[in-house]
A and B are shown apart, each in its own frame.
Chain A
Amino acid sequence: GNSVTQMEGPVTLSEEAFLTINCTYTATGYPSLFWYVQYPGEGLQLLLKATKADDKGSNKGFEATYRKETTSFHLEKGSVQVSDSAVYFCALSGRTGANNLFFGTGTRLTVIP
């Protein structure tokens, strides 16, 4: 079946620190992989995606590389800002049904000045 295992939080970093949030997955076939971000009181927003092995998704300084050999899609940012404080969700699309997404449990990031 399809599942996503995500790094437990919460994560607290100082501004300008390096961020890694680990994500590994189990899937049949070749899923697409996503990172979504949820700011307080809001819905989820797509942060980045990768649709095939070795693809790198990037947006707003965040990056993640689709690693088929390690079934991973770790999120990284070189220098976090206070405005990056949010909950981050890793997700995969199982290519069944109507583009259904399978989510990890989310990682809360707090960046302190």
Chain B
Amino acid sequence: GAGVSQSPRYKVAKRGQDVALRCDPISGHVSLFWYQQALGQGPEFLTYFQNEAQLDKSGLPSDRFFAERPEGSVSTLKIQRTQQEDSAVYLCASSLALAGSNEQFFGPGTRLTVL
């Protein structure tokens, strides 16, 4: 079956531009996560949705980062006025259950390069 998909796979932005990154989770998955992965590092948590509710946004690095999931399915991560330090791979993951020890399924990521 279809896994988590993300688009675009690659994005180049000039410093100061706004970008929008899309995540299509696995159908029926309640939970959706965004992570940021800098070069040579492990992924770092950004934000978490349960259906359409954003329950945790403690990892968003600044108010330039905004995420939404209005209908509890597709999610968009928006970065305003991009800076060079925003260059990273942005990973989306989804999982089925609300709580417990369920695995997260990751998409391939969007590689953002800010020039």
**Does A pair with B?**
no
